Amino acid sequence: MTEPPARQDRATQSADHGWSPLLWALSAAALAVVGLMASAVSHPGPRQLPSSKLVQVVQAAQPQPAAATADGPPAADLDALAAGGEAACSGACGAAESLLAAAASAKDQLPSALDTALGLVEAEQASPGGKGRLGLSKRRLFGQPAPSEGDTDGESAFPAGTGQPAPFASEGSSARQPLRRSAGKSAVLWTDTRPEYATELLGRLDSFLAQANAELSKVLEAQVAAKPVQIYVFESQERYQEYAREHAPGLVNNGGFYDGGMRTVVTYRYNNSMQLYFHELIHAMMGEQFGDHHFTRYTRRNWPIWFDEGIAEYLGSFDLLGKEVHIPAVNKGKLAYLVNAMANNVFIDLPTLLKAPAERFSGPSMNIYYAESWGLLDFLLSSPVTRPKVAVFFKKIKGGEDGLSAFRSCFGDNLAQLDATWRAYLYERARTGPGSVQLFGGSHIDDWTIHEGGQWLAGGGEISGHGDRNYNYLIKSELPSTNFTYQLDVNLAHGTAGLILGNNFHGEYPYYYLIEIARDVVMVRRAWSASHIEPVIQAYAEVPPSTWVQVRASVADRVLRLYVGGREVLQTRVDRDRYSLFGLYLYRAQVRFRGISLLREGPSPAWAGLAAGSAGGPPVGLPDLPPPKMP
């Protein structure tokens, strides 16, 4: 099995830093053992010690088998250290085990010492001479704490991971299949996903790159040369995080990253969106345009980070027609997010966005800044007046001009007026009328986001799901709706299936209502957070096993009605009137879904007050969502 190429900095690792990660870890482990002995002498007493923690230190010191990593075979100059290290590790393990009885009283000191040892290993890996060295890169600039609950991680319309957690936490370890290499026309894919999926993905990557090269050339009015690009797509978030801990510790909780040193995109499938793959590939192309793959431009005063990220969001947003990728497309999740932000007075004004530094695009604020960056590019490129000026703006900042002054010279000094016109445009872009939307085309789910495991397959007009002990679910973003019916056919073999109604909204947990369907009961639950979910109402409903049954969830004027098999089984008041996330979920279930659609039933009172606005001011009569009802 072929392995991915080794990192470019690995050959100089020992010369740059002097000590290998192996010796650092062994030294740390030795310090932990010495501390343990001292603690045992001064604090006698019986205690069963967590020897597995020490084993983690030793295991962290050992080189991983090449077939089980995405990092390729270790460098030749580490082979001798590795060979000696294995013997040293074995000796350390034996010594540690012999000390366990004598160190019985180290109740607090051992975990602390061992955590310190593990921290030294991680610090060395991320140091300027360690495995994680990439120079100044985007992931160093964005190395922020994990987002808080309710904020998405990654750079997509609906990324997952920490941002959109399942009702219950995921369990289990990632698969340890070696990465397989597949080469297409423009993309080289390394992945451990199913071969059938990998083949389809490679075709879509090639199609996307061809279209992106053409579109970027038009937007920038510049020559865009098609160059091969490499992408790692791990099946699981867990395995991506293992890789990120070694090479990008600041982005462990993100949806992926672009490694400028290797010209490689690194991401994962489950808990993620294909839009994020495309986003990072655009970053690779923009690195070529600016001659800067390490994002050093992000450190320049007034550098328009909104432009870099906006281009990546704009060209990374796609539609699937049949099995074909088409770009650019309206990003429904981000548009819904922006409408909700404006309606609730959390929209970032234009002058602030234009000067936003890198840290605004990470952590709790990242959602709104990424969404507005997409929205501003979409706005500027939509008009025959402003579209040509985008290319002029690009040439100015590439030539070294200050980003803010370049924007004013291209688009005008009256930022307040431009801001108002932009907001009115976004409202009109999001406006919907009555009609039906097919949420599932019958052959693929790559425009949905898969969360928290399970097995999901699509084809023949159906989605089939096989759940595990977690809540496994699929999510799709749509334009905001108020009066609507979400309907589908369900064939439940065993377990529990469900529907999700939610919204892309800043600062709230996105999944409002979970509608649970079992063999003889249905239940509506309100989700306030990933771990705080309350029952609202339940009712009897006959759902014969392995039989197709129509299910309809209808919301109008803040009343939810549920129909099973053509019969209304329950109704309840709801506390939200705008929805833009629609999903399916499983719990230890085997189930099939078909005919998944959304029927918008006309303008609702919540939208009737919207005015188009004017160039002189913001839209009037904006609908307000009430504050979250916290129990």
| 204 shares its domain with 268 | yes
- The verdict on residue 626 lying in a domain is no
- The verdict on residue 230 lying in a domain is yes
Average pLDDT of the chain, as a whole number: 75
Q: What is the CATH number of the domain that holds 307?
A: 1.10.390
Higher pLDDT, 574 or 176: 574
- The verdict on residue 1 lying in a domain is no
| 342 shares its domain with 289 | yes
When pLDDT is averaged across residues 117-135 and rounded to a whole number, the result is: 34
- Picking from 88-92, 501-505, 506-510, which range would have the lowest pLDDT averaged per residue? 88-92
> Phi/psi at 480 (nearest 5 deg)?
-60, 140
CA distance 435 to 332: 16
- Using the predicted structure, report yes or no on whether residue 553 has a pLDDT greater than 50: yes
Domain count, the chain: 3
| Strand-strand pairing, 521-527 and 567-573 | unpaired
Query: 565: which 2 tokens?
Result: 């098999």
- Using the predicted structure, report yes or no on whether residue 174 has a pLDDT greater than 70: no
| 397 shares its domain with 524 | no
- Using the predicted structure, report yes or no on whether residue 138 has a pLDDT greater than 90: no
Domain boundary among 66, 94, 125: 125
CA distance 474 to 463: 10
The pLDDT of residue 149? 35
- The verdict on residue 605 lying in a domain is no
| 97 shares its domain with 143 | no
Percent of the chain whose predicted confidence (pLDDT) is above 70? 68
When pLDDT is averaged across residues 177-185 and rounded to a whole number, the result is: 93
| 491 shares its domain with 403 | no
The pLDDT of residue 448? 92
CA nearest 366: which of 378, 356, 376?
356
DSSP 312: H
| 181 shares its domain with 255 | yes
Q: What is the CATH number of the domain that holds 441?
A: 2.60.120.560
- The verdict on residue 179 lying in a domain is yes
| 120 shares its domain with 151 | no
| 114 shares its domain with 149 | no
- Using the predicted structure, report yes or no on whether residue 594 has a pLDDT greater than 70: yes
- The verdict on residue 629 lying in a domain is no
Does the global pTM surpass 0.75?
Answer: no
- The verdict on residue 2 lying in a domain is no
| 73 shares its domain with 148 | no
The pLDDT of residue 4? 59
Domain boundary among 396, 430, 464: 430
Domain of 176? 138-430
| 420 shares its domain with 472 | no
| 345 shares its domain with 414 | yes
CA distance 605 to 57: 61
CA distance 172 to 553: 33
| 106 shares its domain with 244 | no
- Using the predicted structure, report yes or no on whether residue 512 has a pLDDT greater than 60: yes
- Picking from 8-22, 205-219, 405-419, 560-574, which range would have the lowest pLDDT averaged per residue? 8-22
- The verdict on residue 3 lying in a domain is no
Percent of the chain whose predicted confidence (pLDDT) is above 90? 57
